[in-house]
Amino acid sequence: MIKTLLIANRGEIACRIMRTAHRMGIATVAVYSDADARAPHVRMAGQAVRLGTAPARESYLKADSILEAAKQTGADAIHPGYGFLSENADFARACQKAGIIFVGPDPEAIDAMGLKDRAKALMEKAGVPVTPGYHGQNQDPDFLAEQAGKIGYPVLIKAVAGGGGKGMRKVDAPGAFAEALASCQREAASSFGDERVLIEKFITSPRHIEVQVFGDRRGRVVHFFERDCSLQRRHQKVIEEAPAPGMTPDVRAAMCSAAVRAAEAVNYVGAGTVEFIVDGSGPLREDGFYFMEMNTRLQVEHPVTEAITGYDLVELQLRVAAGGSVPEQDRIAIKGWAMEARLYAEDPATGFMPSIGPLDRLVLPGEAEGVRTDSGVEQGGEVSLHYDPMIAKLIAHGGTREAAIDMLVAGLDERTVVWPVRTNAGFLRRALTHPDFRAARVDTRFIDERLDVLAPKSPPALSWIAGALALAGGGPLAAPARDPWDVRDGFRVNGDPVFEVGLDHAGARVGVRLTLNDGALEAQAGDETLVLDEPRFEPGLFTARLNGQPVSARFELWPSRGALVAAQGETHLITEYNPAAQADALEGGAAILAPMPGKVLSVAVKPGDTVKKGQTLVVLEAMKMEHALAAPRDGVVETVNAAAGAQVSDGAALVVLSEAEG
């Protein structure tokens, strides 16, 4: 058995691996960058070794430094987690050469599955169905455009060495191919050091279903059933569940058997995931799924598989790495339904721009609320611009799909507070409660087709109402006071108590009108009216029933700043609106601001250029992703304050527009 395990990773996956290692009696070693010197995974480990400065290439991607850390601390095994060096065959070879166990597959298997074109050819040979497309070596742009035409639009351009949703572009028409190809190649080169791509037919109603496989050194490969990861945004998974909705025994047998064949074709050892693109235009079919790629590592969404099978996959990884065996296939069974939501530091209201900075408030669900939370940050810490912006994974396990959804929604509603970093928690809640999702009518287009509903620009009505009550000390719900003049309850000699106030959140302004009528709170927030039965107001908490369902909002008064309100997954600072204190910025013009710190990749305009609303002006790279910044309206470029290659700070005015001459 492994005695000392070094975890070559950070954040929630490092903490998650350590929990299992400690339970197994294995000593742990953490590695860290300067940005993570006080991170939870560092304090959780028995030993910790500094790797370097904050950028990953100067720390978590320095294989030599990680191996030296293992040598210094006496670690006899290294777990790479996911991301960073987890699918780096050279790192796996270096571990072998140093006599250190690499908790993952052999480097030959990583090589075989690491390049998508080579992997697809191998899968065809093994009898695993693959998506029609071009997987060859010719990378000439004109030739690739010709192949896309032969395949038939829409097509998907994918980085050969890609993963994690990076280096992928959907192209709907020939005229957009050249620009999409160039952008995909830039992102692929930046993320993977390899700009080569392949072209595939885009399945127009696709579902993303993957199978968890496990192999050992006795040549046995088993599966742990499937996960559905169809809810995605920009090819990044958002909500995952196991098992897959609509799965039949025959389709499950065909898909899981194909996944096992894929793993056997490369003599796979350890945990891996075989991902399929599935035709979701109708009921699932035995001939309606195609191999997409194999991830030769543990997946982010592995907890849903753990929940329905009862196996700790990290424990199994460690046992197999030490020479142990996988269980017999007939000992692996499905129990219940599991749902996972990825809580990201990003703002849906601004196009999901990453949000970085301190975590002054961080409250997440715990096991007591029926939700498993895997996180690597804590209150008082921060979200760094250098790494993935995931704050936590929230996992619910219930007897049915509906029960798992309800448990996850309750966790977001009742026990999720994050501030001042913005998150996608409200977006997750709206997705989980959407009628189409509850009815399992999902494919990978789900989010894009419902974005206006899932990511509104303003806080939900309940947040405005709770903010008004908090700022008014309860307003019409306030407990009787000794002096009635001390209570802002809208008291009237004749008529029901009415309270009215104008509120503001980040420039969004709403008038709120509250009336207490026969014990029910009639609340108007902007254009929306709610009738809240059984309303109760107490310090820090407002509860009621809306359409028979319980709703709640937590709040905290911030002196001179308003009320911090957490409701329906979202956290907002609500202030009373003072028109005299407001001023319109850039009157007569508009500025395109950097939504986060980053590097300018390209500037498409110069002073004097006339631009149209929606036209791309600047492309910014931040958090390993490209962000195209577009003109908010028609106009003329007045000034350009950015140049390709420049590093810019959050909020920097990159381009300023003036009105177009009429």
pLDDT at 482: 43
Q: Round to whole Å and give the CA distance between 597 and 590.
A: 20
Mean pLDDT for 279-300 is 94
**Residue 122 lies inside a defined structural domain of this protein:** no
Q: Tell me: do 83 and 29 sit in the same domain.
A: yes
Q: Tell me: do 216 and 327 sit in the same domain.
A: yes
Q: Round to whole Å and give the CA distance between 587 and 580.
A: 16
Q: Tell me: do 377 and 322 sit in the same domain.
A: no
Is 297 annotated in the active site? Answer: yes
136: confidence class by pLDDT, cuts 50, 70, 90? confident
Structural domain that includes position 280: 206-335
Q: Round to whole Å and give the CA distance between 564 and 554.
A: 8
> Which of 202, 221, 247 is the C-terminal boundary of a domain?
202
Whichever domain contains 89, its CATH number is 3.40.50.20
pLDDT at 141: 95
491: confidence class by pLDDT, cuts 50, 70, 90? very low
**Residue 461 lies inside a defined structural domain of this protein:** no
Q: Tell me: do 488 and 566 sit in the same domain.
A: yes
**Residue 459 lies inside a defined structural domain of this protein:** no
pLDDT at 203: 85
pLDDT at 353: 87
- Number of domain units in the chain: 6
**Residue 557 lies inside a defined structural domain of this protein:** yes
Q: Round to whole Å and give the CA distance between 349 and 332.
A: 42
**Residue 42 lies inside a defined structural domain of this protein:** yes
Whichever domain contains 161, its CATH number is 3.30.1490.20
pLDDT tens for 98-120 read: 999 999 999 999 999 987 778 88
Using the predicted structure, report yes or no on whether residue 641 has a pLDDT greater than 60. yes
pLDDT tens for 405-421 read: 999 999 999 889 999 99
Whichever domain contains 595, its CATH number is 2.40.50.100
493: confidence class by pLDDT, cuts 50, 70, 90? very low
637: confidence class by pLDDT, cuts 50, 70, 90? very high
Among candidate residues 10, 196, 233, 297, the one labeled active-site is 297
The pair of structure tokens assigned to 458 is 């303003």
Q: Round to whole Å and give the CA distance between 357 and 364.
A: 18
Q: Tell me: do 46 and 149 sit in the same domain.
A: no
**Residue 126 lies inside a defined structural domain of this protein:** no
pLDDT tens for 541-599 read: 999 999 999 999 999 998 767 899 999 999 999 998 754 443 343 344 477 887 767 78
Q: Tell me: do 360 and 392 sit in the same domain.
A: yes
Strands 549-558 and 508-517: unpaired
Q: Tell me: do 352 and 325 sit in the same domain.
A: no
> Which of 88, 103, 118 is the C-terminal boundary of a domain?
103
Whichever domain contains 242, its CATH number is 3.30.470.20
SS3 content of the chain, % helix, strand, coil (to 5): 30, 35, 35
Using the predicted structure, report yes or no on whether residue 490 has a pLDDT greater than 70. no
Q: Tell me: do 216 and 317 sit in the same domain.
A: yes
Using the predicted structure, report yes or no on whether residue 659 has a pLDDT greater than 90. no
Q: Tell me: do 473 and 559 sit in the same domain.
A: yes
Find which of 430-444, 494-508, 609-623 is predicted with most confidence, using mean pLDDT: 430-444
pLDDT at 164: 66
Strands 77-79 and 4-7: parallel
C-alpha separations of 274 from 225, 299, 305 in Å: 11, 11, 14
pLDDT tens for 19-31 read: 999 999 999 999 9
pTM of the model: 0.81
- Averaged pLDDT of the chain: 90
Strands 337-344 and 47-52: unpaired
> Which of 103, 118, 144 is the C-terminal boundary of a domain?
103
Mean pLDDT for 30-34 is 98
Q: Tell me: do 81 and 137 sit in the same domain.
A: no
**Residue 108 lies inside a defined structural domain of this protein:** no
